[in-house]
Amino acid sequence: MTDDPHPTRRAHKRRTVLKGSAVAAGAAAVPPLAATASAEAAIASTVDITLSVNGRDHDISLEPRVTLLDALRDRLGLTGAKKGCDRGECGACTVLVDGERIKSCTTLAVMRQGSRITTVEGLADGDRLHPVQQAFIRHDAFQCGGCTSGQIMSAVACIQEGHAGSEAEIRDWMSGNLCRCACYQNIVAAVGDAAREMRR
C-alpha cells in the first residue's frame, strides 16, 4: 500500500484521441500540460507511483491511462510480457500479481501499486531456469515465441492452482493463452511435464 491512498488528479484538457496504447505510453514522456485557461486544470496529468516488479521497487510517474503492460514494457524496459491483442484476449501479456495470473493489458498500472508483480524476467533463479521454462525447451513448445512468455507465466499459475492434472484440464485452464503458431500439443505436454516435476 502506498502512503497516499487517495491521489486525486485531474485529466488535462487535451482532447486528442490517441489511437493505441503504445502511443498512449509514449505520450507520458511528452511535456505534461497543454496551456489551459483555468488554474485548477493546471494540475499535473501524471501520477507518481511505485511498482514492485520481480522483487524490486520502481518509482515512475505516468498518466493514469497507461496499462500495466505498457508500464512494464515501455517504462521499465521489461519486454518479456508481450502485446498481442491489447484487449485481454490472447494472453501474451500474462504476468503474476500477488501470485495470481492476470492479463496486464487489461489493468491500469496505477491500480497495481502495492502489489507484487512477477514477469517472465523474474522467474529464473539466477542462471537456473524455472521448471516450466525448462519443460518448454525440452518439449519444443514454441515456434515464433510471441506467446511463450505469456504461456509460461500462465502455466506457472495453472500448476500452482492445481489445474494441470490431465491434458483436458490443462487445455481448459490454459485457454486464456492463444498461440498463433498452434504449438498447443507441445505446450500441453510441457505444462503436464512441468506439473509432474514440480509435484516431486
14 vs 138, beta carbon nearer another protein? 14
17 vs 35, beta carbon nearer another protein? 17
Q: Say whether residue 68 binds ligand FES (CB under 6 A).
A: no
Contact 198, 159 (CB under 8 A): yes
Q: Residue 105: which residues within 8 A CB-CB, separation 6 or more?
A: 21, 67, 68, 69, 83, 85, 86, 87, 88, 93
Q: Which residue of 23, 34, 89, 111 would you call a contact of ligand FES, by CB under 6 A? A: 89
In the complex, least distance from residue 24 CB atom to another protein, rounded to whole angstroms: 6
Q: Say whether residue 92 binds ligand FES (CB under 6 A).
A: yes
85 vs 129, beta carbon nearer ligand FES? 85
d(CA 123, CA 120): 5
Half-sphere exposure of 90 (CA within 13 A, CB side): 19
Q: Determine how many CB atoms are found less than 10 A away from the CB of residue 148.
A: 23
Give phi and psi for 71, each to the nearest 5.
-65, -45
In the complex, least distance from residue 113 CB atom to another protein, rounded to whole angstroms: 9
Q: Say whether residue 28 binds ligand FES (CB under 6 A).
A: no
Q: Say whether residue 112 binds ligand FES (CB under 6 A).
A: no
Q: In the numeric block, which cell numbers belong to residue 78?
A: 521489461
In the complex, least distance from residue 100 CB atom to another protein, rounded to whole angstroms: 5
Encoded amino acid at 97, one letter:
V
Angle, helices 148-161/131-138, rounded to nearest 10 degrees: 120
- The count of residues interacting with ligand FES (CB under 6 A) is 23
Which residues from 140-179 bind ligand FES, rule CB under 6 A?
A: 142-148, 179
In the complex, least distance from residue 135 CB atom to another protein, rounded to whole angstroms: 19
Taken as a whole, the chain contains a residue count of 200
In the complex, least distance from residue 179 CB atom to ligand FES, rounded to whole angstroms: 3
Summarize as ranges the residues that interact with ligand FES (CB under 6 A).
83-86, 88-93, 103, 105, 142-148, 179-181, 183
